[in-house]
Amino acid sequence: MITPVLLCGGSGTRLWPLSRKSYPKQFVALLGDVTLFQASAQRLSGPEFAAPMVLTNADFRFIVGEQLDDIGITPGAVLIEPSGRNTAPAVLAAALWQARQDPEALMLVAPSDHVVPDPEAFRQAVAAGVGPAQAGQLVTFGIKPTHAETGYGYLELDGVPGDLAPRPIGLKRFVEKPNAEAAAAMLAEGTYLWNAGIFLFKAATILDAFRAHAPQLLAPVEAAVEKTTPDLGFYRLDPEAWGEAEDISIDYAVMEKARNLTVIPFAAGWSDLGGWDAVWRETGPDARGVATSGHATAIDCDNTLLRSEDAGLEVVGIGLDDIITVAMSDAVLVAHVSRAQDVKQAVAALKAKGRKQAESFPKDHRPWGWFESLVIGERFQVKRIHVHPGAALSLQSHHHRSEHWIVVEGTAKVTVDDVVKLVSENQSVYIPLGAVHRMENPGKVPMVLIEVQTGSYLGEDDIIRYEDIYARG
């Protein structure tokens, strides 16, 4: 069987404002009803696949579990990276973990934020790579280019690939992201494929490759894996050892130096959604090149993407040409299509201004559910809080604020010091400053409440936790 290894620790800044550091694109339903992460897990499931291994960071671990549970997939090991060290240490950690069980096992390493419209065709391409991988090859998957893309790296093949049926082909070299002129030349030549960053190999094969080409990574990553600590079903890699590992991609560390490489071409459709221009293409623009969401309206527009991610916010474009507009409750992006790859500059500019919109999503996701701020004043804040069935917030208190909770959906079990009671819809409870309190959802449907905070300081760090079922500090 093949063990899928899903990498989902990226921040996806080129799809701001929908994708942000606190809630990146892999966890968003950009196209269709499931998220990119869920679609990736579904694509790599079936009788030929084992339970997926996931590498993510601590902030996303409960999102990973929740989203897999929603689609009925039980993960294998979920490894928590203490910090982002790029793909080479992540792949090495996964291989070391897998090798402890079976060094001959096949591993399919894939980013979790790609779009593949034909999952069955992709599984057939994976099947074409099984033989070479079992024979000791490092198998990568090359995508048939559809245009002169400057946002992807390329794979130069040994010769003209012909019909691009999924079969093993020799790889001449990796090519870095080109400029527009070089991309057009490679497209015309016909011997280049896009580098999808998806790999198939035996655990033993990739470990040998690291020993040969990136030995400096072995000691810190081996130590991080050996000192892994369990945490509520997840596994935390040792932060001190992990911090010693070089920040480097798998391409730079291993693939560009290895000689036992094989490419499987794939021509059935693929995108890494690396920019809003890619989202525009994948959304399926109409005859005038216009793609809209349900809360957006285009009037006399051409080659334009209009999206509103807020049901209460209607976006209307009139007479637009080659424009991207993405609106959320707290931020709006307007850009020329040709500048889609520059959206990350907006994130940098907002960070320089100290704006929370640079990295923080309007909804703040927690292991128990999520909350969003509705109104913020100098000494007050109003939040909507959504608690999953059976979930509970930590037992906590605050130094600087009191709270008033009004239940609007479901029933809350509320603890305030020594008093525990049920609070139903249209009922409220007051939490005095300094009181030890907790809210729980004892029911089988989501519980929603409105929280009104008042006090001299309303930051999320004004929390003293006494008990927490999610083992947060």
pLDDT at 191: 92
Alpha-carbon gap, residue 284 to 321, rounded angstroms:
17
Q: Is the Cβ–Cβ distance between 154 and 175 less than 8 Å? A: yes
Alpha-carbon gap, residue 449 to 410, rounded angstroms:
9
H-state helical runs in 71-141: 87-99, 119-134
Domains of the chain: 2-266 (3.90.550.10), 285-340 (no CATH), 363-467 (2.60.120.10)
CB count in 10 Å sphere of residue 337: 17
Beta-strand relationship, 380-387 and 261-266? unpaired
Element (H, E) at 453: strand 447-455
Alpha-carbon gap, residue 9 to 357, rounded angstroms:
19
Alpha-carbon gap, residue 360 to 346, rounded angstroms:
14
Burial tier of 159 (Cβ tally within 10 Å: 0-12, 13-18, 19+):
exposed
> Which residue is it, tokens 């020993």?
211
pLDDT at 268: 92
Beta-strand relationship, 261-266 and 192-202? unpaired
Question: pLDDT truncated to tens, each residue of the chain (473 aa)?
Answer: 999 999 998 777 889 999 998 899 999 999 888 999 999 999 999 999 999 999 999 889 889 999 999 999 999 999 999 998 999 999 999 999 999 999 999 999 999 999 999 999 999 999 999 999 999 999 999 999 989 988 889 999 987 888 888 999 999 999 989 999 999 999 999 899 999 999 999 999 999 999 999 999 999 999 999 999 998 889 999 999 999 999 999 999 999 999 999 999 999 999 988 899 999 999 999 999 999 988 999 999 999 999 999 989 999 999 999 999 999 999 999 999 999 989 999 999 999 999 999 999 888 888 899 999 999 999 999 999 999 999 999 999 999 999 999 999 999 999 999 999 999 999 999 999 999 999 999 999 999 999 999 999 999 889 999 998 887 76
Alpha-carbon gap, residue 87 to 9, rounded angstroms:
10
